Structure 1
Amino acid sequence: MSGFRDKGFGDRLSTAQNARKAMLERVRAKPGADDPAVAERRAARQAISAAREARLAEREAAKVAEQARVAAEREASQAAEHEQRRAQEANEAVERAERAERQVALEAEQKAARDARYAARKARK
């Protein structure tokens, strides 16, 4: 145990003082705000930030344009479906009217045939 050395209060104080001095030297060694390297890094960060904001704005504009395109396509397809439905309903109405006319004509023809048979039967008696 001859290598063990008990640190005293003075040793701890000097160690703390040395640590404070080292921290102070590190702070003093950092370049100031007016240093050209710091100004260059700040300008680079600002350029990167501006480019990022431009990309975000471009992406947002593209998203809005895509949404507008999709909405226009949806509106056009809905208008086409609506027009097709109206045309189909008109065709069905015409078909129903023709079917009703054919039914009326068929009923009139059947009545005429029935009346003719009735008249023939009366004539035979």
Structure 2
Amino acid sequence: MAAYKTPTFEDRAASARAAKDQALEKLRNKAAPDPEQVAARAAARAARDAVEAEKRAARQQALADAKAAKEQARAEAKAAAEAAAEAAAALRRPAPPPKMPTAEEMKAARDARYAARKARQRG
């Protein structure tokens, strides 16, 4: 039995070149794809893409609706909290001081009392 002979660089380069040429020849000899099959695949891909786009749009619409509902609930809760805070503040707020009569009003009241007293004394 013969001993193993290590291939030289030229042997390895020739082997690689032969493999490359064989692969290129195989690629050149490959039959062209059938146009009907290509069209059928493209139509199937387009239909699949349309269905996915419709699903994506429906999902985005559902997310937008959920977000809007959440915002509305948050706004309602905020309005209720503000109303409750306003009511609590109104309870804590002291009553306004009584209106002090002006000097003219006080003189008119005093004159009315004086006139009533005199009317009682005469009558």
Quick one: distance in 1 between partners of 2:69 and 2:28?
57
Task: Name the count of aligned residue pairs.
Answer: 95
Which of the pair has the greater relative contact order for Cα pairs under 8 Å at 6+ separation? 1
Higher helix share: 1
Quick one: distance in 2 between partners of 1:13 and 1:67?
67
2:82 aligned partner: 82
1:29 aligned partner: 30
Gaps of 5+ in 1: 101-125
Q: Following TM superposition, by how much is the alpha carbon of 1:56 offset from its aligned partner in structure 2, in angstroms?
A: 1.7
Tell me the SS of whatever aligns to 1:29: coil
Q: Following TM superposition, by how much is the alpha carbon of 1:59 offset from its aligned partner in structure 2, in angstroms?
A: 1.5
Mapped pair 1:72 → 2:72: yes
- Root mean square deviation, CA, Å: 3.5
Distance 1:90 1:4, change over 3 A: closer
TM-score (norm 2): 0.54
Q: Following TM superposition, by how much is the alpha carbon of 1:27 offset from its aligned partner in structure 2, in angstroms?
A: 4.3
Gaps of 5+ in 2: 98-123
Distance 1:75 1:16, change over 3 A: same
- Aligned-residue identity in percent: 24
Letter of the 1:70 partner, please give it: K
Quick one: distance in 2 between partners of 1:17 and 1:27?
15
